[in-house]
Structure 1
Amino acid sequence: MRVFFRVALKRSAVLACGAVLACVAGATTPKAAPSVTQVKPALPPIKLAMVEGLSGPFANTGEAVYRNLLWAVERVNQRGGVKLPGGARELVLGRHDSKGQTEEALSAFRAALDEGASFVLQGNSSAVAAALIEAVNKHNDREPERRVLFLNYSAVDPALTNERCSFWHFRFDAHADMRMSALMQVIKSDKATQRVYLMGQDYSFGQAVSREARRQLTVQRPDVQIVGDELHPVGRVKDFLPYAAKIKASGAQAVITGNWGNDLTLLVKAAREVGFDGKFYTFYGNALGAPAAIGQSGVGRVVAVADWLPNVQTKPSADFYKSFRQRFPQPADDYVHMRMQLMVEALVQALEKAGTVEAAPVARALESVSLTKFGQKGFMRAADHQFQQALVVGQMDHQGEPGVAFDVEGSSYGFRVIKSLSPDAAQMPTSCQMQRY
């Protein structure tokens, strides 16, 4: 499915007046012969193409992404759009269904190019992201007059900003090693946990999580025994009971997992059914059905790392979350990503600094972006195009308990922040050797 949705600019004047002609609402106009020179044509919009799984096993995740990006685009347009020489231009957001498959994503990418997209947005799969990086590199070399940028909001395989780094790719989520390092700050103080089970999805991201968990446990908790290390097919397992039974039989006291979407929800449901009462140290256990699936048994035992959580204790953060819930009032729609809002704001800042939508100047401007929004600070590291931002670790509890003002998806469970890392503290070295343009 390839449809561009146009989010109209809010203007105090009559909309038909155009972006650069001042009009007074309700004013009378003397009769005169019509003239085609009286109203300038609207400037063309800046097209953003979201390439994401909107059908298949991870459709709920793709739709959650779309709501977040739509909200970010709406807010930019409501304040007048992107200010460029010649006038303001609005953003439009296109939906391109990859069905969660690499080949479908590449086909969607080509369709987005045909429709004139200047920026490609994707994140739910590091395997897809890696393929898109290569496709963008080849396209930009082949057609320098039609170059595009790839903005990545969730694909967190560390390789994407290390050995596979690209001048045309910018990542706005903390990569897997950064997230694992934040989780490990909590695990190293959890002395009651002596046996852990590593569970993940069998592709580059899941493999990276498992590899980094082993490495960091060796450094931070050499006393911990890894009693299982298992990878499963992505998005194809319907019954996780056999996996959950193995976890329980292993004697594990905690599971470390990077699972996301239905692969996480089904795993935690199965663990509850077999009576596993250990902890879950997760990358994404704070939403998309996981808290409701875990239920009461997760209180005090489910831990999640994120760039931001609704219960971050600042007024700008609380106001931000409340405004999202007003825009999308259904409880199931409240999987809100701060990083996606910052990504769109960073793009707007870079566009206005560059004064053009051409990819190379915008990329150079994006390399130096630094912003504070909704109480969250972040900056782009030019060396590898990895966005640096605060990370938080939260622990599941009942809404209404100290530090849990907001629940997740109407579940009555929320996440209390138990560890915070500043952008500087969350940074990790990079091995990127980038070809610059």
Structure 2
Amino acid sequence: MITPAARDRLFRRPTWAEAQVVTKALRTETVGGAILLIAAVAALVWANSPWQDSYAALRDFSLGYEPWHLDLSLGTWAADGLLAIFFFVAGLELKREFLVGDLRSPAKALVPVIAAAAGVAVPALLFVATVLIAGADSDALRGWAVPTATDIAFALAVLAVIGSHLPSGLRSFLLTLAVVDDLIAITIIAIFYTEGLSLAPLLLALLPLALFAFLVQRRVVLWWVLVPLAFATWALVHASGVHATVAGVLLGLVVPVRPRAVVPSAATLSGKVDVAQRLEHRLRPLSAGFAVPVFAFFAAGVSIGGGGFGAALRDPVAIGIVVGLVVGKLIGVLGSTFLLSRYTRAELDSDLSWSDIIGLSLLTGVGFTVSLLVGELAFGAGSPRDEHAKIAVIAGSLIAAVLASVVLRRRNAVNRRIAHEDTIDADADGIPDTFQTHDARLTEDDKPTH
């Protein structure tokens, strides 16, 4: 637990090494978010154009091998296959954060973990309350998890558009919260949205998964060895009835995140090999720049004309999703942070104000990618209620993004000055003095593992 000492700070500046990792990850996700937005807008325009039938035909075009249960539509390949790459990267991030990142310290992990959990629980509760008050049928309650997700790529694209200079501590918190949010989301998908479980393929999936784990633990990074094993694991998990993206997380979690000095010379490069960093370097651009945008393209193409938007406004599911994303996320993230501050007597870092926290809390209501996926799992892809859920996710995410932009723009000048000071006070070693001073104050337990 955070002690009541005066030195305790919420969202304090990370170490220089951690800040570099976060900055690199956010840079890739920001570019990917811009591509995601373009893909989503293109899908909306096409699905509402005179050529909407061709969009549906492309999305529903089947491709694959039926004996392996892989005769899937392109839309399903994107949701089950390409998003597995996204969740693989999420698994790598999660393991790195808990073993060598800020989450390895209970004091540092407390705030983002509780904020992420509250940011899931409160939207879900508000959704259920909205549906029950409206007197909707019990099937509507299947969508309780739709407004619980945060889309880090979409959120960062919003930040790039408004030009906000979030302080480094808050940027680190945003990424960490999104990682924990992804873990909760995939757990929800695995537990609550798995139907018709078949144990035989699931148990068989452990064989290629174990071999994949053995090779990466030995620092074998040959793609032509690892990719077939990863695909076999994914295919068997898909055949079992568990959503195939779970395989992506499992594969990510077995990858080692610490470099090793001695490695098999025939299988890897010489010297220290950080397998997680190597795989993330190769797959994060693929995930952010291709996998997620392609999924968004096939998932966001919903018809809002011909009464579609009006029908969504009358559906308690759609109303509950918007309330959950816009109000629930704000109350969950901001409320839990405020309570931690109040009852632990920890103070905000000197770089921050509560306006920053309000803006960030609103930004977590941008729940695009995983929310669309959960909507499809809850109501069935292409069903009328799924269409309403998609409209609500898009509308709720846009409202949250606009409100966050309004709040964060007020603080933009102050944050830009702070970011500028961090840049100009670097000496010959290229590390800003503010980070060096901060790192020197860390205890041995807080220092990052190299």
Give the structure-1-normalised TM-score. 0.28
Name whichever structure is richer in strand by fraction. Answer: 1
Name whichever structure is richer in helix by fraction. Answer: 2
Give the structure-2-normalised TM-score. 0.27
Higher RCO (C-alpha 8 Å, min separation 6): 2
